[in-house]
Amino acid sequence: MKIVDLAPQYETLFATCLEDRLPEAREAGGHRAAWIAAMRPRGLRARLAVDEKDVPIGMIQYVPSSETLLDGGVGSYFVYCIWVVRFPDERGNHQGHGVGTALLEAAEADARSLGATGMAAWGLALPVWMRASWFRKHGYRRADRSGIAVLMWKPFASGVAKPRFILPRKRPEKTPGQVTVTSFLHGHCRAGNVAHERARRICAEIGKPVVYRVIDTKDMAVASEWGILDALYIDDREVRTGPPPSYIKLRRKIEKEARKLR
């Protein structure tokens, strides 16, 4: 295993989070590719772990902290995702073999070489993917928390104020006479993109009184105005998108609100 830059031959696979064979990779649409294209000139960095056949088996993506919803940690980078593949076929399970650690160390070294003041990452307080406890083992400390999401922080220089989450500043309002499904669409996460695509399809199939609207939060001015980066709302209530709700479950939620208008 070795760590490499995001070279052109890996870009299509990177846009699917290294899981091009999964049906969800196709269902997610082109939102992640659009996010990559938009963020590259704004400082998006990525490293891949590849096996002896140069097949990607892990990835890490990170951006300047100014390109996400953080307050403080000026001059630092933020890790959006570390993912190591686990397949039931011949590609095998590569988790639990130090790939994630190698990716994080490579990203930190890269950020330091760019003069970064530190590295932040979001983790979960639950023992699942992107565990906060895993980052703690790598020298990170809790800087903030919002629900089950924990902001982890490793300063590279002294005197740097730790970052904090920018929390939602407003939410969509309920419109009389209709059900409004609002997608705050950022595009960095395949799972979130799947939820947005399912919502879009459902709204188109149901039609009136259901209305679907998209708020493009790749524009940081828009994201900062709302204090929301990636979310799905039915009227004024948020729907959990990770893992993405099934098509059937999401349709039931939307139809339930539509029936209330009859």
One digit per residue, the tens of pLDDT, for the chain of length 262 reads: 899 999 999 999 999 999 888 888 889 999 999 999 999 999 999 999 999 889 899 999 999 999 999 999 999 999 999 999 887 666 677 777 799 999 999 999 999 999 999 999 999 987 777 899 999 999 999 999 999 999 999 999 888 999 999 999 999 999 999 999 999 999 999 989 999 999 999 999 999 999 999 999 999 999 999 999 999 999 999 999 988 999 999 999 999 999 999 7
Of the candidates 112, 113, 131, the residue with the CA atom closest to the CA atom of residue 121: 131
Identify the domain containing residue 48 by its residue range: 2-165
Same domain, 161 and 202: no
244: amino acid identity, one letter: P
Same domain, 154 and 204: no
Q: What pairing do the DSSP bridges indicate for beta strands 45-50 and 149-155?
A: unpaired
Q: Is residue 18 part of a domain?
A: yes
pLDDT at 11: 95
Same domain, 46 and 144: yes
Q: In sequence order, what are the residues at sequence separation of 6 or more whose Cβ sits closer than 8 angstroms to the Cβ of residue 171?
A: 226, 228, 233, 236, 238
Same domain, 160 and 183: no
pLDDT at 89: 64
Measure CA of the first residue to CA of the last residue in the chain; give whole Å.
59
DSSP code of residue 65: G
CATH of the domain at 11: 3.40.630.30
Q: CA 261 to CA 215: how far, in whole Å?
A: 25
Same domain, 49 and 141: yes
Across 151-161, b (16+ Cβ under 10 Å) vs e yields: bbbbbbeeebe
Same domain, 159 and 236: no
Same domain, 75 and 146: yes
Same domain, 154 and 189: no
Domain count, the chain: 2
pLDDT at 130: 87
Cα-based distances in Å from 134 to 70, 97, 129, 155, 194: 21, 14, 10, 17, 27
Predicted structure pTM score:
0.92
Among residues of the chain, what percentage have pLDDT more than 90? 84
3-state secondary structure at position 74: coil
Of the candidates 23, 47, 176, the residue with the CA atom closest to the CA atom of residue 104: 47
